[in-house]
Amino acid sequence: MQLLRLFHSCCLLSLAPMVIGCSSNAKKASPSDDHAQQNVAPVFHVDPLTAGSISGTIRYTGQKPSRKMIDMSEDPACVEAHRGKALDESLVVSPKGSLANAFIYVKDGLQGKRFETPTTPVMIEQNGCWFRPRVLGIQTNQVLEVTNSDPVTHNIHPMAQINREWNHSQGAGDPPLARRFTKPEVMISVKCNIHSWMHAFIGVVSNPYFAVSKEDGTYAIGNLPPGEYTVAVWQERLGTQERQVTVAPHSNTETDITFKGQ
């Protein structure tokens, strides 16, 4: 009996270094995890005393395109919302040649800077059997809130190529939907699987420096740190243009861009 007890004691003593060795290895893994977390760049905050801005007008030259009527006859409620006079919005040019719904964003020049995710959601509304706004920008991981203000059911379907593609039906009176895009992607085309004429476009960027041109073609991007940037302008029918822009401390850089029609 004593020999058996002695045998068990020896086994336990021989196993102890192995247990200690495993615990030691587990502890060694944690410093590398801490190091990885330390490599994440801190949130960048712009110095308000040196911040600059970019602004300008997006224009269209050439023969002004005629806007086609949209046939909504498959849904009487949609026809009623527009009194039968819904016009295509893929290329909206003012009498003075200003171009609306162009997406302008800082494409290059912010490497190494990480920006805080806004807590305010970006809204997209299904109203009058249109997506409103037609073109919008959002930061990565910022909430996109989707609402339906119409008396009919819609289906929002962002056809993402880099982010996860999804689609969701939303009936009249349904609560808002909340979604996020985790990766930059310019642009994500959006459609309604129920109403074929409904389209929108979402520009997902990793920084807050973007804008959509207004009806008069104007845009503004503020609170930019001084530096050299590549600014890109996208329009759904006319493609993309880029400009090299220098932003000096505490100043505005006028950057007008013109698209030429066919």
Report whether 186 contacts 231 (CB < 8 A): no
pLDDT one-digit tens code per residue, 14-35: 444 443 344 444 444 455 455 4
Q: Which CATH code of 1.10.1740.10, 2.60.40.10, 2.60.40.420, 2.102.10.10 fits the domain covering 116-206?
A: 2.60.40.420
pLDDT at residue 179 in the model: 97
How far, in Å, are 25, 28, 42, 88, 186 from residue 37 at the CA level?
20, 16, 10, 49, 29
Dihedral sign of CA atoms 15, 18, 24, 26 in order? negative
Q: Cα(175)–Cα(147) distance, rounded to whole angstroms? A: 7
Helix (H, G, I), strand (E, B) or coil at 2: helix
pLDDT one-digit tens code per residue, 125-176: 999 999 999 999 999 999 999 999 999 999 999 999 999 999 999 999 999 9
pLDDT at residue 251 in the model: 96
Superfamily holding 44-106+210-262: Carboxypeptidase-like, regulatory domain (2.60.40.1120)
Residue 49 has pLDDT above 50, yes or no: yes
pLDDT at residue 38 in the model: 52
pLDDT at residue 26 in the model: 44
Give me the residue label for tokens 């009487």: 76
What residue ranges of the chain are covered by domains with CATH 2.60.40.420?
116-206
Max Cα–Cα distance, the chain, nearest Å: 106
pLDDT at residue 9 in the model: 46
Q: Which of 127, 163, 159 is nearest to 142 (CA)?
A: 163
Phi (first) and psi of residue 144, to 5 degrees: -100, 120
pLDDT one-digit tens code per residue, 217-243: 999 999 999 999 999 999 999 999 999
Query: Mean of the pLDDT values across residues 60-73?
Result: 91
0.95 surpassed by pTM: no
pLDDT at residue 262 in the model: 65
Residue 40 has pLDDT above 60, yes or no: yes
Q: Which residues pair with 192 in a beta bridge?
A: 156
Question: Within 13 Å and on the Cβ side, how many CA atoms surround 79?
Answer: 7
- The tokens for 79 are 């026809």
Q: Cα(1)–Cα(8) distance, rounded to whole angstroms? A: 11
DSSP letter, residue 208: S
Per-residue burial over 183-208, b if 16 or more Cβ lie within 10 Å, else e, is ebbbbbebbbebbebbbbbbbbbebb
pLDDT at residue 64 in the model: 85
What residue ranges of the chain are covered by domains with CATH 2.60.40.1120?
44-106+210-262
Residue 205 has pLDDT above 70, yes or no: yes
Write down the number of H helices and E strands in the chain. 2, 17
Q: Where are the beta strands (DSSP E) in 77-193?
A: 103-108, 122-127, 130-132, 135-139, 144-148, 154-158, 168-170, 177-179, 185-192
